[in-house]
Structure 1
């Protein structure tokens, strides 16, 4: 099977080399559609062997992506943006799964670099070169609707996902978003789409979440609530099984254990709606209501890695409400899902410290530091716990690391910590 990379780009000379380097020896063809670059983006793409085509930007991502699809000759299509790259570990799996006859679409796990709340998402980026697959939505181009339409006619196809992280994405870091004015552009496009597609739960979820991020909390809650009621209402009308009984919505494929099948797609949207309602009500200090939304979110039968943000935020709220054991349980559940979740270890350390479980707190902070050696707050709190158990030498060593790290980007905190140690006559 031949695998083609398909991209749309504009002025991506800074990020494109890393993206294309990650697919070398993985894809058989690179198709790049340039939508108006005035830098060296086309030349960089050609340097990596890409077939470069040109398209006048019309403020419609789907139109551009569908134009790019016209030039693809491979049996399977991998879609990446310039600010994304493939993980080295996923290459052999991609080559293996595209040789399975059953699949029309294989979703990939994407990790948001630098994200602490919800670092993973499932994206529909690897699919068969089927004549009826196309992108829609001008603001957030997806093939999901066309896939669903094909499945109603060609019922033998399956949809699955690879459980391991496949794509690393750097474009949603705060500095990048602010620089490129991504929020405002996305909101404008989604508002226009919603005006003519008032029954689209996906856009309610995305636009509602965006309003919350932009500080328009009540407006965001209104849209998220509409999307939630609409999605639940559709399930009621179609008389589907109760949510709790659909734990088989994802199952391992017997022919190839690398792939897990997806039996239902409503749950991901339901999770997002509940999750962002939890964020919104947290900002409004409606903590009990926020907890209820997070609890509803984490109960849904979706890929567990996607629930990290839900469990982490639930733990934070339970801790704030005084339910320390509940918070500890939430953090520990998150760490069972992903034992590399740095924020989870730090938060577990904080709640263990509050519970007087100092040995567990030391272990949690130490795990966080092992995963992120520049974690100043983890060193600082580790120093506090060592001091509580009477281990002054290790306490001072941890505090010294915290001070050195704080001095790089938080000098007032470094000075405050240093002064505190001096007042306690520890230095």
Structure 2
């Protein structure tokens, strides 16, 4: 089985290498169509993949039509299956399990779950777009948010299990959206399509999405309702997303009565009622109109359904988010004690990786003068954070797959640092921290970067923060000792070198530290433990000597 990756890109110098490096571990060939980049995208493609037989780079003049650009890439695809990615996406995939899945099925098109990273507290899971399909005379139609036809037939696509294959998407964060100036371009394309085909439901849905992204929620409501009506009762691939977005816009505009009336119409839909978001937003609408009993019933239903990966869903809508809203309802009912308990449930929910609701909980405890309970809460929070080196819940990601991805990313960041590309390293760290917080390796690397830039005070703060999470981390202890040595604070350097020695996992680590202690007039021997290999930032000392003469 051969899989071809087909991409269209423009001005993606910050993303293209990371995206392709990961994808090329999964696909057999990649066709990348550049539609007129004015940054370093094309040069990066040529520098990194110009001699790679698996990668074909095509420069193409943009014609204001996404389908034409995608169809250009399809002409060069020789695989049995075609995978589609954007440059601001990263794919997680078990190739063997994917092949087994495809061989066992007869479908020609599949949807891959996409985790849209808005920010650390806002992840939207969508399973609405066909991203993997048979190379059987495929062709795209539609100038924007293009749709695939295979051998003349349109496919909605079945959903692949996220444990087999999933995509992380960074392109719709507010900052990135503004940077790319996508909105005005896309709105113009959509409006032109509506002029040509005013009765196509999909066009109005696309316009509604763009209006929502621009913050024009009233216009988005009108467009999404028009799209819903034009569908005339037929289920479209985008229909779940349309409904959820429409509810979100209604709530933002405080059109609670409209939201309740709309949900009452669609609530019996057998697909929609499987989505926790429907009940989560329904509950918020009821609470806003002081229908507290009905609101709680909706929140309970959302929690009963649980997290959802088969369509469009806001991360947490089936777990901690309805618990937080439930706690707010209890407060409005004057049931402060029960509200505190519900906030605790929400804060320590397994899916609540960033402990949303914690500040509200602390405020309530302070108001009630429950200081002993507040102190215990802070201890519990610290314990919880220490146990979460990786903040993505294991239920959300296949652990082995994610850890491999994590190691790849951190290795790339270290290479950037080694080569003095500190700005690029910082960008990579920022992207990584969008989905992972409290990774002690990242604290160590960030500390090294600050040291290289001469900000020893900030470096010390960062390394100490990392040690609050893992006080026995060898890298952090070693790098902090090295920082104190550079600052001629030898007593502290010796203290932390000895702590690092106590946590050394290899003969080489022990040897290096003993040499450092010897240079400082101290001598200590650690026990050998060569059976355990430990990945540490060994380049630190050499980098300072070579680049800065220290």
Question: Do the structures match in fold with TM over 0.5?
Answer: yes
Matching residue within 73, 80, 97 for 1:68: 73
User: SS state of the match for residue 179, structure 1?
Assistant: helix
Q: 1:87-106 to 2 correspondence within 5 Å?
A: 87-88=92-93, 90-100=94-104, 102-106=106-110
Query: Is 1:274–1:293's contact at 8 Å kept on the other side of the alignment?
Result: no
Where does residue 320 of structure 2 map in the other structure? 345
1:36 and 2:36 equivalent?
Answer: yes
TM-superposed deviation, 1:15: 0.8
Which structure has more RCO (C-alpha within 8 Å, separation ≥ 6)? 1
Aligned to 1:127: 133
Range 331-340 or range 25-34, more displaced? 331-340
Q: Looking at CA atoms only, which structure, 1 or 2, has the larger radius of gyration? A: 2
For normalisation by structure 1, the TM-score amounts to 0.73
Please, which of 301, 315, 318 is the counterpart of residue 286 of structure 2? 318
Whole-Å separation in 2 of the counterparts to 1:342 and 1:159: 25
TM (norm. structure 2) is 0.58
Q: Aligned residue for 1:274? A: 243
Name the stretch that deviates more: 23-32 or 159-168.
Answer: 159-168
Which whole-Å CA distance do the structure 2 matches of 1:338 and 1:83 have between them?
25
- Which residue of the partner structure matches residue 107 of structure 1? 111
8 Å contact from structure 1 (residues 61, 141) kept in 2 = yes
Q: Which residue of 2 aligns with 1:141?
A: 146
Deviation at 1:387, TM superposition (A): 5.1
Q: What secondary structure, in the 3-state scheme, does the structure 1 residue paired with 2:153 have?
A: helix
3-state DSSP of counterpart to 2:24: coil
In structure 2, distance between residues paired with 1:117 and 1:326: 27
Query: Mapping of 1:141-180 within 5 angstroms?
Result: 141-143=146-148, 146-147=149-150, 149-150=152-153, 159-164=157-162, 166-180=166-180
Corresponding residue for 2:374? 395
Using the alignment, how far apart are the partners of 1:178 and 1:123 within structure 2? 23
SS in 2 for 1:290: helix
Change (3 A) 1:380 1:221: closer
Runs of at least 4 residues off by over 6 Å: 399-402
How do 1:199-218 and structure 2 match up within 5 A?
199-218=199-218
Deviations 1:236-260 (A, max 9, x none): xxxxxxxxxxxxxxxxxxxxxxxxx
Post-superposition offset of 1:51: 1.5
With over 3 angstroms needed to count, the CA separation of the structure-2 counterparts of 1:311 and 1:98, relative to structure 1, is same
Q: Which runs of 5+ in 2 are unaligned?
A: 309-313, 383-550
- Alpha-carbon distance, 1:328 to partner: 3.3
RMSD: 3.2
From the superposition, tell whether residues 333 and 167 of structure 1 become closer, same or farther in structure 2 (CA, over 3 Å).
farther
- In the other structure, the counterpart of 1:262 is none
CA distance in 1, matches of 2:328, 2:251: 24
Report the equivalent of 1:286.
255
Tell me the matched-pair count: 358
Q: Does the aligned pair in 1 maintain the 2:19–2:89 contact within 8 Å?
A: yes
Cα 1:294–1:109 shift into 2, 3 Å: farther
User: SS state of the match for residue 285, structure 1?
Assistant: coil
- Does the CA contact (< 8 Å) of 1:201 and 1:269 recur in 2? no
2:88 is aligned to: 83
